Every structure is written in C-alpha cells, then in structure tokens.
Structure 1
Amino acid sequence: MVTIENKQILIDGKPTIIMCGEIHYYRLKFDEWKDRIEKLKAAGCNAVASYVPWICHEEREGDIDLDGHSRKELNLGAFIDMCRDSGLYFFVRPGPFIMAEMKNEGIPYWVFEKHPHIVPISWDGSKATAKTVDYLSPEFLEESRKWYSAVMSVIAPRLYGKGGNIIGVQLDNEIGMLSWVQNKPVLNDNVIKDFAAWLRGKYAPSSLRERYPFDIGDTSLLAEKVRTPEDTYAAELLHDLGYFMRNRFARYVATLRAYAEEFGVKEVPFVINIHGTGGGRALMYPIGISQLYEAYTQDKGYISGSDIYLGDLTMNNFQDLYIINGFMDAVANEDQPLTSIEFECGDGNYGCTLSPRYDVSAADFKTRMCIAQGNRMLNYYLFAGGRNYVLNHKPHDGNDRIAITGERHGFAAPVSPEGELNYTYPRMSRTIKTILAAGEKVASMQEEHDDVAFAFIPDYYMTEYCYKKSGRMKGIVENLEARRAGGAWEIMGRAMLLAGYRFGSIDIQNKWPDSKTTSVIALPSARYMDSSIQKKLVDYMSSGGGLLIYGELPQYDMEGKPCRLLAEALGVEISGERYDGQGFYLSIYADGWANPRPEIRSHYAQVFKSDKVDAILRVRGTDEICGFDVAVGRGRAIVIACSYICDIKLFKAALEKLGAKASLTHDCSYHGIFMTSASNGEKERFIHILNLDGFEKEFHIFEKGCKLFGGRKLHLQPRDGLMLPLNVEFGGIKVRYSTAEVLGVAESSIEFRLTQPEDIIVFEKGSKIKPSDDYTIHEEGDDMILLSRKHSKIDDHLVVAFDKV
C-alpha cells in the first residue's frame, strides 16, 4: 500500500525516497526497452516514469491499442511489467493532456474534429493559438472518461498492493499552463454560464450589482463584458476570474480522480503537476502554485509535483529553487510531501545546437537542494531520449509524426535516442546513489529552520489572465510582477541564504501567522495587498512578531481600493515614489543603525514622512525616508522600500534586530556557499553544502558559534556538493561525523566518497573496524577516529569494512 503521511511517502508503512527516471516506451523500439531500463537502474534509480499518450493509443476513435496489436511499442502493460521484473517502481502519467512536445499536447486529432467547440474562445472573442480545451466541457469529459476506462484497465491490476509496481498516478499535466502562457483564459459560452453561477454563489445580488454594472443573468451580455472588459469593473474581474478558474481546475481534477477510481485505481497517490520554471529562473513558477493549489489541497490523497527547469544552479538562481520549494510546502496540507515530477537532467541541448551546455553539477545541485528541503520523489526528465514515429493516419502536417521535435526526441537526455551515455550521466548517477545510500534516513528527515519564514501570498501570482487594453487591470498586474519576486528574491532572499538562514515559507493569505511559532517574517510587498492580510500582519507584530518588508508598503487592496492599514500601523505617511531617469541618478544613503555604509545607486524608492520611525535609508538630495525601523506593539518592523543591493550584512543585522539569528554559518569570505541541514526523530542529521562557484573554497562550519567536524577546515571543490552525516547510524554502525559522503551501505561495509586532502570519519566507540592500508584508526574518548591516507583529488573512493558484532 502507498500512502502519504506527515510529509512522507510510505510504501508498506515505510518512509521511502523515490528516485525516478522518465523513459517514453512509445518512442523506443520494443527491443530497446530492456537496455534503457538497465541504464536507468545502473544510474541508481529505483523507479521509472512515463507519459501514456492518448494520441498514440487511439489514433482513430474507438480503435484503442494498449496491448501492442498495431505497434509492439504501444504495449503499455508489457513495459510496466518489464520495469517490475527489474525491481523498479512505476509512476504513470496517462493525461488526457501530456504535453511532452506531442502534437495536440497528446490529444487525438479526432477529438478536436468531433468537438470543435471545445477549443477555447478568449479575450475579444479570439481563439486560443495552442491546442488546449475547455476542460469541463461535457463532450471533452465524456471522451476523457472513455480514455480513462481503457487506460485504467491496464493500470489498475498493476498497482502496488495488487502485486504490481505502480506507486502513483498523475492526473492530466500542467493544467492551465497553456491558457496562462498565451494570456488567453477559456471564455467559451459553457464557461461563461458556469462563471455566472459561480458569481451568484459567491456574492449577494446587491454586491454583484456593485461589482458589475450590468445584468449577469443575460448570458450573451455577460460573455461580451467578460471577453472585452471595461475599466470600471476590470480589477474586480481580475480577482473573480482568477478565483473562478482555481475552482474550475479543482473540479476538473476531482472529476478525473473520480473516473480513475471508478475504473479501479485506488490506494495510490494522485499527483498534480505544477508548471512555471523556464529560462533558468522560477520567478513565474508561483503562478502555477496559485492556479492549482485548490486542486491538490481539496482532499486527501493528492500530491503536488514541481517542474524544475533551471539549467545550472548558480549564484544567479539558487534562491529561486529554495524559495519555490518553500512556497509549495506552505500551501500544502499537513500530510503532503514535496515532489518534483519533471526534474530537469541532461546537458540542456534541447534544440540540438550544442548550446547551451550545462555543467555536470546541474542535476546534482538541484537534487541535493530538493532532497535537503524534504522532496520525497524526483523524476529525472527526460532520462532517455527516443524517436517520434509517423502516425498511421497521417494528418499531412509536414512530417506526420507524433510530436513536433522531428524524428529524434530527447537530444539533451543523459541517455541519447540511440542509447549512448552523455557526459552528465556519471555525476547524476553518483548523486542518485548518494541519496539512496541514505534513503532510509532522508525519507523521513525534515529541513531544520531558523526563526524566520518567507511570506507567500498566492493572490500576488494570480496574474495569468490580464486584459492588456484595460489600464486598471494592467496597472495592478505590472506592479505585482515588479514587486512579488524579482528584487525580493534576488536581494532579500539571496542575502538571507548567503548569511546562513535556513527558512521555510508561510502562506500569510490563507493561514494565520503566529509570533510564537514564527518569530520573523520576510515579506515581499507590493502596492496592493488585501485588507485581511494587512490586518493579520498588524496583529502579528502587535503580539510580538518581527516583520522584514522589501518592496513597497501597500496603498490599495487587491482590487485597487485605498487600503493603508499596514502603513498606518507603522506610523508612516506614504508621500510618493522616486525613480531613476534620464540625467537623474537616484541614490540611497544609509542612516541610523545602518550607517556607515556606502551610498548606492537605485532605480526606485518609495518615500515616507514620519516622526515615529527610525530612518535607516534615505534618498540623496531630498533626505526622504525610504527605509526605516519601528516598534509596533510588542513587535517590530524593518522596511526597505527601495531597490537595494545584496548587502548580506545589512539583511543579517536587520533579521537579528527582529529576533532571528542564523545557527549554521561558515567563515568563507567569498560567500557563494549554500548550506542547510535536515534531521529525523532520532536526531540523526545531514549537513548539506553546495559550492556555487567555479573555484575551491576553504572554511569552517559553525553551529551556534561552535565548530563542527572536530574543528576541521573543509576544502570544498569547485561546483561540488556534500551531504555530510552527523550521528547517523548505518546498519548498526553509528557515524558521529564525517567529511566524506556515504556512497553505499552493505552488510559489513560502508562505501565513502572522499572530499578532502585528508578525510576524517568518526565512528561511535565499539565499531569493529577492519584495518586497511587506506586509513589509520585510533581511539579518542568515546570515538573511533579514522583518517584517510588518500587525497580525494587522486582517489576519492574508500571502503571501510567491519567485523560483525
């Protein structure tokens, strides 16, 4: 039985880490399946994933091939069974939509031909440019139900618990993504009628008349007014349309789940994939969280999974991954674990141009950070490439193949379409084996946090549909886009991580911040903020909480109505904004406890008047306040309302004044080091470290001011990562601490990856270590000290053998 509990994936009641690789059986020849499965297993993975493309299995309506009678490669059951026979779990992704560069995103041509009206109508009556649909169209749902009836007949008997190996089922893929990236909400007549009913259920008649100055009962008029909104109600529509679509996506997911369960698929998690990373950044990713969080929090048994496409993890983007993992956890139910369903691997050569070319650390670093933050399943996408075959019933679209990428697919994968291993495979394999060597431990570990949380406001990301001809709607969206991430992540978030802060996130919109459990909140803030959130923050500070604000103090609620509850509680009057411009070099200088520090150039500052606050930042030339420190009740706020630099010491000082101190620190002056830690109920721990730069670093690690690892200075190689154990027991042998990574655990030995000129591994006294020419052993108090005789740059492999106790 597969269940989720306390943010863990339990298989037969045992916490389990799933390291999965995506192999598209339908893009390979039948006799290639075994080779790709063996290469995946050799990489250390314990599971296989695959989409199941409806377009391939039912080219013509009613002629469904899931047993390979038309093409041997379409025998889905045989592929799943082959993975089972290789000792691998299976994660199945049956759509209806699968994307995966498939034609029609994986929907058969005949569905659109039979039901042309399911294609969306959007702003100004325009048609969607990508092949998406009205998800809740009765006709589309009926066709999807028939597809589920067929595909679940293969899946149901192969579920884990019924003798099979399927441990999870994804419902659809990247729901709402195509509408968002096109900025084309689905506004078909069917949807407009649904929207009218939703509005009547949410608002009293008098409120509706106030919000919308027309009769919403007139469906034709409502369709016209929604598709071509006017400024008088555009902000209200932005708000209502976003909430309505969240609800609609949740209903779609619930319907698909009901179909799956109707056809026998039960007692495994149902996974919802969240979209939004791309171009090496995740600044837009929370739009996907906002769109879909009602879908996967509506009931038990759901898991949310991320799409991680960040390329190389560097000083430029490492904070993005850390923050979005926190955001996903913040909105999840108490049992829901973090997972990543499309976890980018390979060399980045998606266009087959040999550019860009990822470093071998790319998948390694992202894996390490995600596991440290509590991800329980990672699906490496795409693990093995393949080929797009020609459809039997040709659409005459230029190449007649199943997908848009030409004949070969998965150019960037660690295993090429021809089965060759590329240069990224060995490092990825080493990482997977390192994680699973300690799999029983990390499967139940939670990241340890300092007394600070990063605030998440889902409605700040409810900007996927913007009618650009509306100045009012456009103004709200543009301000939110400018303040919700960007500088707040790149300046405040990055500075916090580089200062050593390990922080989670808190959904301050839907949950009540408690100063007793969260001492400090770091808040990216825009000009717009709901009045209820502003009131929550005032109450939070009044009860003793600390608030670090970066961006703007809000002046309006989310619909553009004046609301300055937070500013009033802080005792300031917002007097305007100052911008950098032609011939004017906006500059900010430090004041109060922030002084002395050099004056900096800036492109934006919000300025205040107040005699109640202590100024810490001012505009050069006018001396206007743009940053301040103020007591509020028993709490305190520090506001940085300008575009500032990543001044680690400034943010560290601010957080410490608010009451949050970083416990895990280092003494490397070059920064560029990411560190965090995780522990379980037995107080076993791992310290996770990444060197984000391309040069070696030497430093000590401190916890609450005390040196770890026996006071030894660590040598961290360029673009390398470490997962170092503290008081972790492996097969009855307790490792007190080690500068070497555990790479494998056998019955009477532990395999290590050496990382230092001289590694130290400290075992609990009583461990019967067999002597070796590779190391020395001596006792110190209650410890057995092992010192490696190998230099890691020459030979980084060490096996320590033990006599059985």
Structure 2
Amino acid sequence: MRKLGEVRTRRLEVKGAKFVLDGKERVFFSAELHYFRVNPSEWEDRVIKIKDAGFDSVSSYVPWFWHEYEERRFDFSGVTDPRRNLIGFLRLLEKYDLGLIFKPGPYIMSELKNEGLPFWIYNAVPQAIARTMDGKQHPTKVFSYLHPDYLRFVERWYKNVAEIIRAFNNVWLVQVDNEVGMLQWITTHGDYNENTIRKFRDYLEEKGLVECVYEIDNWSYGKAFSQRLMIEYHVFIRQYYKEYLETLKRYLEESGIDLPVIVNIHGFDMVEYAKRGKRYPIGVSQLYSCGVSENVLLSGDYYIGNVVHENFSDLAIANAIMYAVQDRNQPLFSAEFQSGFQLDKPKLLPSTLELTSLQCIGNGMNGVNYYMFVGGTNPEGSALMGSYHDWQAPISLNGELRRGYFVLKNLIAKVRQFEPDIAKSNPVFDTYFGFIPEYYSTEHFKEHGFDISDLEFKRDVSIFDGVIRGLKLLNYNFGGINLSNTASVLDPSSVKSLWVFSYKRMPLRIQKSLVDYIIHGGRLVIFPEIPVEDEFGNECRVLMDVLEIEEIAKSGWNMVQSFGIEINAFHVDTYKLSGEYTAFAHNEDSKVCGFAKEIGKGKAVILGFGLELEREYKLGVVRRVCEMLNIERSFEVECQDFVDVYVRRSDSKCFIFVNNYDEYDKDAIVSINGQNVKVRSKARSGEIISLDLD
C-alpha cells in the first residue's frame, strides 16, 4: 500500500479507441470477483486462477452498505468482518500484478437488498426518496439522484473510498453508480419528487416553453402529463441522469482521482435459453449523453443468454448502437459481459462464451469484463435471493473450475497470440445503421396513459427481427450513427450508405439532416414507413416533399410483392408519387409501397412495408436493396450454411473472425484482398485468421 498522494507508476489509459496498459495497446480482459462474497482465506486461490487464465484485471463492486455498516462507521480493513478487508484484497491483487475495476456505487444492484445502499440511509433522509406521479413512495425506494440530502451522504462515501483508490496503483477504472434509470424504467414509475419537479420546471423555463411551465405550475400528484410535457420530461430526465453521474465523477476528481470513469448501461432482458437485446436501446437512450464527458467510458451490459442463429444479430446491433453514441476516441467495451447467470436455468453453454467473445472482438470490442467469473455467498441478511450466489460462474462458489473457465482461458490465449496487431486494428464496416434515440425515449409514457405499443412493435421487429438483422444474415457488417447528434453532420464520403428505422413521427431536425445527406450523395434506406409528423405530432412533410410523395395511406397487415418476393407485411404505406421513381413493391391492390428515387447526388430507397424475417427467403428483399444501392461487402463467403464473419484491419494486418453457431462443422471460403481463405468452422466455435496486407 502506497502513501496517500504518491505518484502512481502503472495505469490503464484510454486513447484513440484503444486500451493502453503501460504504454502498450491491449485487448483488455477482466474477471468479476466480489471479495465480499468469498471467504478471505480463499481469495488467493481465486486470484491465482484468474491470473492463470490470462486476465489483466479483476472487477468488483465496493458495497456502501457493507463498508459503512453504521452511519459514519467505516471498515475497509476487516476489523468488524474479514470480508470487509478491501485493503487486503487490493494488496493481494498487487502481488499478482492484477488491476481492479473499482465499482463503489452508490447503487450497485447485484441482487442485493436496497441495491447495495445502507439500510440506515432510508431513515436518515426519507424526504429524498423518489415519488410516483400519484405522490406515493417509489416502489423500489430509489432516491432522487440529485436531491441534496441524498448527495450529502454520497459525497461523504465517495471521499472515503477515494482514500482507498489513491493509496493503490492498481485501481485502473472506476465505475460510478450502476444502471442509472433502470429502476425507474422497469417499474414504469418515474421520479416526481418535489425536488425533481422543481428542477424539471427550471428546465422548461430555460427552454422558454411557456405552456409547459404553466402546466407544471398547475400540476399536482395524481394528474397525468400532456403529450408535450411527457416528451419534455423524457428529455429532462436524461439530462438529470447525466448531471447525477457527472456529480459523482466530480466527487472523485475533487478527491484527487483522475482515472477513466465507467458509465454502465442496462437493457438486455428475458429469462430464456436465448435472450434478446430488443430493449437495450432504451437504456442507451437514457445514458448515452454521459459519453460526451471527458474521461468517461460508456459500457454495455451484454446478457444474450445462449447465442444461437436466432439471436446472435442482437449483439451486432447493440455494438452498432454503442458505436453510434459513444465518443470516437472510446473503445467498445462491456463491463458486464455474460459468463454466467444468477439462476441455474437456462443453462449457459460454455461454447456461448467463446462465440460471443469472438463475435464482439471481431466486431471491434477492445475490452471485456466477464460477469460473473467467480461465484460466492452473500453476507448474511444482505441479499434479495438468499445466500447462494454461484451464478453458473466459470469458477464456482466452492472454487471448482468449470468448463467455461477453460473455454475462456483458451479464448484469451487465442487472442493474445495476435497481439499487439489485433489491438491496433479497427473493425471494417460495409454500411451504417442510423440510430434515433427518441424512438426509445419512451419508458414513462404508459404511466401517463399514452399507448406506445405500435411504436414498440414496429421498432422491435423492424430492427431486431427484420431489416437490420437481415444485413447481418447477409454478412454485411455495420457501424452506427447517432442521428440525434446535433454536433455532427452526416458525411456521405465516410457514411456512404445508411439504414434508418422510421416511425410516423420523426424529429424535424433529423428529417432535414437525412434530406441533406441524400442531396449531397448519400444512399439512404428508410423502413418501414415515412414520417408525416414531427416528434410533437405536428404535420411535417420534409421527407415527403423531397421524395415527391403527394399522399400516404397507412394500413396494417397486408400482402406485398417486392422484387417478385411475397411478403406478409405487418404494416404497409402506400404512396401517391410524382416525379421520376422506380417502384419495386406493391400491395394487393397494386399500389406502390416500395420505391427508389435519385435526389441530388444521392439515392433513397423506401421500404414502405413491415419486413419480418421469420421466413428467411424474405432476405431476398434486403439483398436486392443492397444491390440497388451498390453496397458491397469487404469480403465474400462461400458456404453451404451460414457462418458469421467479421473483419478487423490495421496498416499491416487483416484479421478474419468466423463464427459457427450451429451444432455441426462447416467448410467455408472467405475471399478478401484477392486471397481465398479456406476455413474449417467447427461446431459451435469461432476462428481467428490473420492475413498480411501487401
């Protein structure tokens, strides 16, 4: 343990979208081990096993309830309980040259009562607990994050943990809070504490929204918000979350901590054999604005369950969304990359650990923290689900090495043999997905009586089971563009083609941005409908007019013929058009519902019908659109069955990642840079092939 204030000699840095450890670019591997859930006599055994598997770092929550067990009574050295000896744990990590991702909350979740907050704080500041729109205590008892009475205790907690961080040179990253906004989202109850409402009113007044100010001044518990006020609340609460996380970061900085700070985003859901990421963009929409702050690292919770043909594309979509919203100098990173599960069902297959890792690394991910990597037991009386916390982890709560341990050990060794070149390389994208966060800023609409089921259905199916999934099934790799980012302009020279999910409403500024993109040479695909209103429900014909659409008729289910392919469409737009265009889709009444049009230097393709790929023959529509817009892959694949391929390039190397999600071997040929590479893709496994570039 170093003296306070001593200059640190070793650190992990984030530079140019890379992790740099001691001046060397690395693919950063970390393992989640909760010291407070493992007997200290067994700490060294677990740490040795982590080190032997090839990891750079350990990650752990530092629970507030555990260390400030009574108000103003702290224990970080194990005086009251050996499992509180955080100082001893950090010394042990130093001994084995392992870093620590230090996660002090205050909220940590992790199946703990009060989400890791001390029990005593609820009696100390009950006025700071969030309120529902009916004025009742929030069902989770979550605090209003920016309530000054709550923050007073948080600041004291952070000052105490900062002393520990400063004293060690192997704390490399600090995560502030965890999954902010998740408790409000999953319960559909926002925060209407009087303090929060006052801040909301200040926000409305600053924007000059006179009618909204009048409404909030006359609002009382039990009243629903108007649609405009509801939209503004979603914008406000995202700024509120950002201010809270920046406040936590400031507390660290004021205590002398200048380490990169992690903001962890929630969203994968459903307890099934193969999970989905359809709601992940909601969490992204809540927290992505934090990523513009200096020295902040956005991170995703990636819980895909068992990866199979039906859900693998969700990870690619999640990665594209993260690329869309994070700073360009930030590496793609997951602070909770699933290597177990809190229940013993569904059983997580060891093969999934290799497949998801290689998929995401191939897609550009440069840092992975496996959660949980080590099982344990909860301190008495602390847990929501009892003492058992094994999590199907690669290292069991008894220290047993499960098959998943050896899979990840081999995976890390496989990646390490290509370092440093693989860490220097970047993912190759053939096209881009245009992400509109406003379509996911919806978590509190239902509690105010607004039906958003139509939007939810269309966005989920069109993106995750339709067009964007179709791109991946055709082995197009896509990056992401945040269309709500007002600080950047869509540049057709770098984003040559763009695929945008559109609803009947779309913000005016985004419609204008898309028009400019096409006129200046962009190739744009819009699906499954054209917007006719702005985000507030006002008529907005910006896209309609440039596409020379005179009238739109919107309808539900219908049969469509597109490129000669029969489509059972869940939604259909039909268009009355003027000017020159090429129609390629018609409904049963022979009305146009899909067309292409050249505009300025660019071209737009409108898929005015809902495309779901429950039958993969319909992939032909996506293929024909790619051909129509001359969207080319960076490689070609010959294989009787589907294999999932990703490419990373550096100045001198090209890395090809090939994943086989099925239970039988496949032979494939990947053609790239004039070379034909034969690949024997074994059942449920992945391969990395390295090629020299001439």
User: Could you tell me how far apart the structure 2 residues matched to 1:668 and 1:362 are?
Assistant: 22
Within the candidate set 654, 660, 665, 1:685 is matched to 654
1:273 pairs with 2:273: no
CA deviations 1:201-239 (Å, max 9, x no partner) are 122xxx423x46x364x4xx3444xx6225xxx221222
Amino acid at match of 1:429: K
User: Could you tell me how far apart the structure 2 residues matched to 1:370 and 1:131 are?
Assistant: 36
Aligned CA-pair RMSD: 1.8
Query: Residues 649-728 of structure 1: matches in 2 within 5 Å?
Result: 649-671=620-642, 673-680=643-650, 682-703=651-672, 706-709=674-677, 713-727=678-692
1:618 pairs with 2:586: yes
Query: Residues 423-462 of structure 1: matches in 2 within 5 Å?
Result: 423-450=403-430, 452-462=431-441
Percent identity over paired residues: 30
- TM-score of the superposed pair, with normalisation by structure 1: 0.81
User: Could you tell me how far apart the structure 2 residues matched to 1:402 and 1:664 are?
Assistant: 52
The 1:561/1:132 distance shift into structure 2, 3 A limit, reads: same
Task: Please name the residue that 1:256 is paired with.
Answer: 248
Superposition deviation, residue 69 in structure 1: 0.3
Contact 2:103–2:174 (Cα < 8 Å) also in 1: yes
Amino acid at match of 2:16: N
Contact 2:596–2:605 (Cα < 8 Å) also in 1: yes
User: Could you tell me how far apart the structure 1 residues matched to 2:201 and 2:134 are?
Assistant: 18
| Runs of 4+ in structure 1 over 4 Å off | none
Query: Residues 561-600 of structure 1: matches in 2 within 5 Å?
Result: 561-580=538-557, 586-590=558-562, 594-595=563-564, 597=565, 599-600=566-567
Amino acid at match of 1:277: F
Superposition deviation, residue 573 in structure 1: 3.7
1:555 pairs with 2:532: yes
Task: Please name the residue that 1:532 is paired with.
Answer: 509
Contact 1:308–1:344 (Cα < 8 Å) also in 2: yes
1:229 pairs with 2:224: yes
User: Could you tell me how far apart the structure 2 residues matched to 1:469 and 1:328 are?
Assistant: 29
- TM-score of the superposed pair, with normalisation by structure 2: 0.94
Task: Please name the residue that 1:313 is paired with.
Answer: 307
2:54 match: secondary structure: coil
Superposition deviation, residue 174 in structure 1: 0.7
Contact 2:33–2:58 (Cα < 8 Å) also in 1: yes
User: Could you tell me how far apart the structure 1 residues matched to 2:247 and 2:584 are?
Assistant: 54
Task: Please name the residue that 2:3 is paired with.
Answer: none
Amino acid at match of 1:273: N
Task: Please name the residue that 1:118 is paired with.
Answer: 128
Superposition deviation, residue 469 in structure 1: 4.7
2:645 match: secondary structure: strand
User: Could you tell me how far apart the structure 1 residues matched to 2:633 and 2:332 are?
Assistant: 24
The 1:359/1:351 distance shift into structure 2, 3 A limit, reads: closer
User: Could you tell me how far apart the structure 1 residues matched to 2:171 and 2:228 are?
Assistant: 44
2:480 match: secondary structure: strand
Task: Please name the residue that 1:208 is paired with.
Answer: 210
2:289 match: secondary structure: helix
> Rg bigger for which structure?
1
Contact 2:372–2:391 (Cα < 8 Å) also in 1: no
Contact 1:480–1:528 (Cα < 8 Å) also in 2: no
Superposition deviation, residue 611 in structure 1: 4.5
User: Could you tell me how far apart the structure 2 residues matched to 1:129 and 1:143 are?
Assistant: 22
Per chain length, whose mean CA-contact separation is higher, i.e. which structure has more relative contact order (CA < 8 Å, sep 6+)? 2
Amino acid at match of 2:559: S
The 1:526/1:310 distance shift into structure 2, 3 A limit, reads: same
1:495 match: secondary structure: helix
Superposition deviation, residue 389 in structure 1: 2.2
User: Could you tell me how far apart the structure 1 residues matched to 2:662 and 2:593 are?
Assistant: 33
User: Could you tell me how far apart the structure 2 residues matched to 1:689 and 1:699 are?
Assistant: 9
Task: Please name the residue that 2:8 is paired with.
Answer: none
CA deviations 1:478-535 (Å, max 9, x no partner) are 3432233422232212221222212211112213211121111011111110111111
Task: Please name the residue that 1:145 is paired with.
Answer: 155
Query: Residues 167-246 of structure 1: matches in 2 within 5 Å?
Result: 167-203=172-208, 207-209=209-211, 211=212, 214=214, 216=216, 218=217, 221-224=218-221, 228-230=223-225, 234-246=226-238
> Structure 1: any 5+ residue segments left out of the alignment?
159-163, 391-400, 581-585, 729-735, 737-805
User: Could you tell me how far apart the structure 2 residues matched to 1:236 and 1:153 are?
Assistant: 46
Task: Please name the residue that 2:295 is paired with.
Answer: 301
CA deviations 1:319-343 (Å, max 9, x no partner) are 1111111211222222111110011
1:700 match: secondary structure: strand
1:73 match: secondary structure: helix
CA deviations 1:64-122 (Å, max 9, x no partner) are 11110001111111111101211211111011111111110000010011111222112
Within the candidate set 328, 332, 336, 1:342 is matched to 336
The 1:147/1:660 distance shift into structure 2, 3 A limit, reads: same
How many residues matched? 673
User: Could you tell me how far apart the structure 2 residues matched to 1:182 and 1:306 are?
Assistant: 21
Superposition deviation, residue 660 in structure 1: 1.5
Amino acid at match of 1:416: S
Contact 2:550–2:578 (Cα < 8 Å) also in 1: no
1:518 match: secondary structure: coil
Task: Please name the residue that 1:639 is paired with.
Answer: 606
Superposition deviation, residue 200 in structure 1: 1.1
Query: Residues 403-442 of structure 1: matches in 2 within 5 Å?
Result: 403-442=383-422
Query: Residues 266-415 of structure 1: matches in 2 within 5 Å?
Result: 266=258, 268-279=259-270, 280-297=275-292, 299-346=293-340, 348=341, 350-352=342-344, 355-390=345-380, 401-415=381-395
